[in-house]
């Protein structure tokens, strides 16, 4: 199995090289060179790890990582993704809870999958260094997944004063070989720094730099697995392929669902739910794709004005037709939905998950009733307690995994937003970096 760039200007590579590289050398994103088809009847019920090893095997075919795929899946899918019904009144709505991992958001799956791959790709020539610019969940999941690894280390850059207290703790609490750098600047400065480091041939080679953001195909592939598991379960139970409602910013989930449907999995219509950022909704309505600066919202992990996976979506046949609806849900509607869902069923949604439930509620009742719809619950509401608690009038208790994070000691190292400062941090031993 080979992978090519969305821009068509890079050599074909196998999955290990695509994961090691992150973006393709021509600036595009890696996609499978040829369509893959699977017989869904051949796929197992049961643990996600077993399904993952079967579902992803064609993508790893011919790569040195292939024999390790079952072990990689066992590391990545070490916690469940239950499908729950929020109250009895809406038999056709299920929530796919993707937040039972160690940092309480679905990014744990992708980060663990990616780090398990990197750890096997690092090896003889010295460790890889993952550089992550983050405004929230990605960095925490990556740090957690890299802790204790031998052949990969992680440096996480986050903007000073722009992340919540819990998020900061979750970025700064991981032991070697992980270090968090608080950058004196905003998220764009963090991203520019990471880009500048990758563009510096000396730094990139000396530290064997690689990335863990959502353009890496090693994050998309595992997202297909839990979507596939949920789809198979509902289809085997009801005889009808379920629809999906996916909260999205960078289109990671949406592309994973579209790829899974193209593989042959029983996935019906796909609805993308965004926050107030309008790039995707406008594109779906008008056909014009106009990236814009991102708008800050209370569903901040989806604050994206230029969705990085758009190139992958655009390459599919009739891209606009791939999504049934792109529903834009602004902050007032998110708050309202969190409040109403809690009043109605007692279920507590995080702001991202609330965009999906709101998008489902806005569907035509006829569409709602023709099949089961699976809305992704992407983060534990505790992570957004400051937003959620006043709306529901209750104090949230952290689940054990998040309580364990709060019990850890956090270490902060601040750097100015310059490449020199980042280079200095990169040059230090991970142990020295993390205790600085
Ligand atoms: C990252 C994230 C999203 C959006 O993911 P996409 O890659 O844009 O699909 C949604 N919810 C939460 C909680 C996230 O952390």
pLDDT in tens, 2-57: 999 999 999 999 999 999 998 899 989 999 999 999 999 999 888 999 999 999 99
- Residue 435 has a pLDDT of 36
To test the pocket of ligand 1, the residue of 167, 275, 378 to mutate (highest count of ligand atoms within 8 Å of its CB) is: 378
**C-beta neighbour count of 119 within 10 angstroms:** 21
CA 372 – CA 383 distance, rounded (Å): 28
Max CA distance (Å), the chain: 60
In the numeric block, which tokens belong to residue 119?
């750890």
Angle made by CA atoms 130, 136, 142, in degrees to the nearest 5: 30
Q: Which residues pair with 154 in a beta bridge?
A: 130, 178
Q: How far is the CA of 247 from the centre of ligand 1 (A)?
A: 7
Q: CB burial class (10 A; 0-12, 13-18, 19+) of residue 167?
A: buried
Check pocket membership of 248 for ligand 1, CB cut-off 6 A: yes
Q: How far is the CA of 338 from the centre of ligand 1 (A)?
A: 17
To test the pocket of ligand 1, the residue of 105, 136, 164, 308 to mutate (highest count of ligand atoms within 8 Å of its CB) is: 105
Check pocket membership of 252 for ligand 1, CB cut-off 6 A: yes
Specify the ligand 1 atom closest to the Cα of 304. Answer: 8
Check pocket membership of 137 for ligand 1, CB cut-off 6 A: yes
Check pocket membership of 141 for ligand 1, CB cut-off 6 A: no
CA 22 – CA 218 distance, rounded (Å): 8
**335 vs 161, residue with greater confidence:** 335
* Ramachandran region, residue 393 (left: φ > 0; alpha: ψ -120 to 50; beta: rest): left
Check pocket membership of 376 for ligand 1, CB cut-off 6 A: no
In the numeric block, which tokens belong to residue 43?
């796929």
Q: Residue with the nearest Cα to atom 14 of ligand 1?
A: 301
- Residue 182 has a pLDDT of 95
What is the average pLDDT across 412-421? 94
Q: How far is the CA of 420 from the centre of ligand 1 (A)?
A: 31
Alpha-carbon dihedral sign for residues 5, 10, 12, 14: negative
- Residue 434 has a pLDDT of 40
Specify the ligand 1 atom closest to the Cα of 255. Answer: 9
CA 54 – CA 57 distance, rounded (Å): 5
Which of 32, 30, 14 minimizes the C-alpha distance to 22? 30
**C-beta neighbour count of 418 within 10 angstroms:** 15
CA 374 – CA 368 distance, rounded (Å): 11
Specify the ligand 1 atom closest to the Cα of 250. Answer: 8
Which of 253, 181, 177, 272 minimizes the C-alpha distance to 214? 253
According to the CATH classification, is domain 78-105+220-400 in 3.40.50.1100?
yes
Instruction: Answer whether 380's CB lies under 8 Å from 350's CB.
Output: yes
Q: Which residues pair with 374 in a beta bridge?
A: 94, 244
- Residue 436 has a pLDDT of 33
In the numeric block, which tokens belong to residue 425?
């941090």
Give the end-to-end CA distance of the chain in Å, rounded to a whole number: 44
Q: How far is the CA of 424 from the centre of ligand 1 (A)?
A: 31
Over residues 67-121, the pLDDT tens digits come to 999 999 999 999 999 999 998 789 999 999 999 999 999 999 999 999 999 999 9
Check pocket membership of 312 for ligand 1, CB cut-off 6 A: no
């Amino acid at each position: 199995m080979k992978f090519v760039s969305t821009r068509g200007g890079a050599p074909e590579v196998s999955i290990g090289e695509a994961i090691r590289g992150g973006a393709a050398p021509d600036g595009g994103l890696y996609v499978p060179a040829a369509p893959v088809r699977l017989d869904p009847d051949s796929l197992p019920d049961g643990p996600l790890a077993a399904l993952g090893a079967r579902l992803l095997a064609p993508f790893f075919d011919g790569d040195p990582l292939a024999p390790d795929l079952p072990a990689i899946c066992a590391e990545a899918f070490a916690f469940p993704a239950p499908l729950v019904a929020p109250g009895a009144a809406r038999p056709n709505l299920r929530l796919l809870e993707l937040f039972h991992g160690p940092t309480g958001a679905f990014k744990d799956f992708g980060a663990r999958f990616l780090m398990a791959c990197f750890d096997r790709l690092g090896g003889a020539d010295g460790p890889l260094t993952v550089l992550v610019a983050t405004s929230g969940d990605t960095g925490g999941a990556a740090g957690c997944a890299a802790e204790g690894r031998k052949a990969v280390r992680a440096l996480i850059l986050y903007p000073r004063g722009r992340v919540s207290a819990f998020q900061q703790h979750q970025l700064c609490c991981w032991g070697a070989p992980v270090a968090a750098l608080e950058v004196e600047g905003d998220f764009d400065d963090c991203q520019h720094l990471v880009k500048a480091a990758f563009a510096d041939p000396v730094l990139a080679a000396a530290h064997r730099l690689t990335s863990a953001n959502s353009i890496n195909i090693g994050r998309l592939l595992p997202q297909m697995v839990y979507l596939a598991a949920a789809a198979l379960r509902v289809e085997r139970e009801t005889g009808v392929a379920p629809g999906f409602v996916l909260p999205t910013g960078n289109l990671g989930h949406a592309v994973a669902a579209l790829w899974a449907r193209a593989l042959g999995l029983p996935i019906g219509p796909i609805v993308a739910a965004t926050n107030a950022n309008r790039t995707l909704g406008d594109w779906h309505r008008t056909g014009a794709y106009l990236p814009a600066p991102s708008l800050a919202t209370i569903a901040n992990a989806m604050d994206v004005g230029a969705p990085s996976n758009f190139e992958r979506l655009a390459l599919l046949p009739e891209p606009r037709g791939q999504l049934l609806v792109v529903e834009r849900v602004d902050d007032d509607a998110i708050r309202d939905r969190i409040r109403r869902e809690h009043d109605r069923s007692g279920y507590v949604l995080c702001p991202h998950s609330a965009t999906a439930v709101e998008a489902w509620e806005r569907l035509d009742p006829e569409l709602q009733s023709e099949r089961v719809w699976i809305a992704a619950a992407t983060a534990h509401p505790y992570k957004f307690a400051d937003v959620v608690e006043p709306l529901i009038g209750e104090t949230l208790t952290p689940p054990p995994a998040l309580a364990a994070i709060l019990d850890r000691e956090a270490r902060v190292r601040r750097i100015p937003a310059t490449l020199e400062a980042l280079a200095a941090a990169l040059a230090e031993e991970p142990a020295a970096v993390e205790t600085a």
